[in-house]
Structure 1
Amino acid sequence: MLRWADVAAVIFDMDGLVLDTEKTYRMAWREAGRAMHQDLPDVFLEALSGLSMDAVLRTIEGFCGPGFDPSEFNRLSAACWRDYVAARGIEVKRGFHSLRDYLDREGIPYCLATNSAAANAEECLQLAGLGGVFSTIITRDQVERGKPAPDIFLKAAAALGVSIDRCIVLEDSSAGIEAAFNAGALPVMAPSALPVDAATVARCKFVLNDLGELLGVMNC
């Protein structure tokens, strides 16, 4: 059984875990695809969850085939995304605030580790009203490899000055859980899309409905 006494720090993913951004990205990719006369099915877009943007573009390029212009797709999707979030903002996922309040009260260190680039991560946090909440943020452009490689989480643990094997890593995607598992962390999942495959579930200490549930399973 995992207890708070076993935990030195908590590492949060951002997209789909702290922020409800995955649906906004899928919408932007879908609309950019339509503008380029490409039909990107929902099941295909959902499978991109947790990947870095360069991996997303490579995967979409492979799906669309010869003649696809990833630079134009990136431009169109970015413009569509910014129009959407400028009008609607970005929602914070359920349970984040209660978990963060607990970590602050107990003096448990935490940070953000995301496959997004630094500029994008900061923009998203500001739009969600979370600017300045994380004193330590590790982003894709700070490491050689993005998730599902373990680099981001290893760097996050080093930045916090703790051993990775005593870090809970909170993730919403299979790629993120794979990265946490490969890093030697304590993976916990709050999925942003269902179902979750059996191999991913097997790597998790817990699978939650939302972040607030961690307090219940850890404190029982």
Structure 2
Amino acid sequence: MIKAMIFDLDGTLVQTERLKAISYARAAMELCPDEIREDDVIEAFKDVVGLSRREVAIALVERFNLAKKAKERMREFSVASPWQAYVQVRLKIYNDMLSDPQIIRDNHWRHNVDLLNQARASNCKVGLATMSTCEQAQYVLKELGLEDAFDFVASRDDVEKGKPDPEIYLMVADELGIAPSECMVIEDSPTGVKAALHAGMQVVAVSTPFTKKGLHESNLLPESHIVDNSKDLLDIVAHVGEHAGGF
């Protein structure tokens, strides 16, 4: 029986993955303004979405030959590697974007937020498991009007290992007082799906333009557990829940 629903944040409740992709693209263009197109970096980001910041940065530095230009910025940021300089350029762009509350509100995933509100209304326990920092998560939740929506929120700051390690999902279940097998996770990326499955939880994956291909090609979930059309979300959640003993 499903007694708790645990949500991811980035890409699931808000389209921060889209904003991250744009920030990586604009940072690359800042480093190499005459050589790189924004759309090309955004498309490349789809191949690394869900990976750690270090892994994403290294992959994009290599793919777009950013190392030389990024190395020239290392002293500016007091860092020891080109990928770190690239990250710093990108973070300033990303933080400037997030500082506009309207951008966050304009980029929420309405269907997933609606599911969250329905879960709360049905007295289902709700948790959040995000690889954003606590400060970032609380800011985004506040701007979405969801700062008091969860029974427990776990962030990157609370765990030693990030997704796909199951640590964060097991922590949320423990804090909610619900067995992992009685939790349903709503995720958007293969990395997050792996974490939830390793935690022994039921999973529904809601794809985005950045994660759709990876979700289907990963074979982590039956196709019946992947939502590509928001109109199907409630039916798929109900279907998965029924097979787990209902809500």
Q: TM-score, normalised by structure 2?
A: 0.76
Inter-CA distance 70–127: structure 2 relative to 1 (3 Å threshold) = farther
Whole-angstrom distance in 2 between the partners of 1:211 and 1:159: 30
CA contact (8 A) 2:28 2:66 kept: no
Q: 1:209 aligns with which of 203, 223, 228?
A: 228
Q: Which moved more, 1:80-89 or 1:170-179?
A: 80-89
Whole-angstrom distance in 1 between the partners of 2:60 and 2:134: 23
Q: 1:197 aligns with which of 209, 216, 238?
A: 216
Q: 1:12 aligns with which of 4, 7, 12?
A: 7
The answer on 1:74 being equivalent to 2:81 is: no
| Structure 2 residue matching 1:41: 3-state secondary structure | helix
CA contact (8 A) 1:178 1:200 kept: no
- Deviations 1:169-203 (CA, angstroms, capped at 9, x unpaired): 11101111111111111111001133233334536
Q: 1:89 aligns with which of 103, 107, 130?
A: 103
Match of 1:3 in 2: none
| Structure 1 residue matching 2:98: 3-state secondary structure | helix
Match of 2:138 in 1: 122
Q: Which moved more, 1:84-93 or 1:142-151?
A: 84-93
Give unmatched runs, 5+ long, in structure 1.
Answer: 1-5
| Structure 2 residue matching 1:95: 3-state secondary structure | helix
For 1:1-80, list aligned pairs within 5 A: 6-37=1-32, 39=36, 41-60=41-60, 63=63, 64=65, 68=70, 69-80=82-93
Deviation at 1:65, TM superposition (A): 7.3
Match of 2:244 in 1: none
Whole-angstrom distance in 2 between the partners of 1:147 and 1:75: 22
For 1:92-103, list aligned pairs within 5 A: 92-103=108-119
Q: Which moved more, 1:132-141 or 1:21-30?
A: 132-141
**Greater RCO, CA 8 A, separation 6+:** 1
User: What is the letter of the counterpart of residue 33 of structure 1?
Assistant: A
Backbone CA RMSD of aligned residues: 2.5
CA contact (8 A) 1:7 1:166 kept: yes
Whole-angstrom distance in 1 between the partners of 2:230 and 2:5: 12
Deviation at 1:104, TM superposition (A): 1.8
Q: TM-score, normalised by structure 1?
A: 0.84
The structure number with the bigger radius of gyration is 2
Inter-CA distance 180–204: structure 2 relative to 1 (3 Å threshold) = farther
User: What is the letter of the counterpart of residue 186 of structure 1?
Assistant: Q
CA contact (8 A) 2:134 2:157 kept: yes
Whole-angstrom distance in 2 between the partners of 1:172 and 1:163: 22
Equivalent pairs, count: 215
Whole-angstrom distance in 2 between the partners of 1:144 and 1:17: 22
Deviation at 1:211, TM superposition (A): 6.2
Inter-CA distance 56–120: structure 2 relative to 1 (3 Å threshold) = farther
- Deviations 1:139-198 (CA, angstroms, capped at 9, x unpaired): 112111111111111111111111111111111011111111111111110011332333
Deviation at 1:54, TM superposition (A): 4.1
Percentage identity across paired residues of the two chains: 24
Whole-angstrom distance in 1 between the partners of 2:204 and 2:238: 15
- Deviations 1:99-146 (CA, angstroms, capped at 9, x unpaired): 123212221001110111111212222333333322411111211111
CA contact (8 A) 1:9 1:108 kept: yes
Q: Which moved more, 1:113-122 or 1:194-203?
A: 194-203
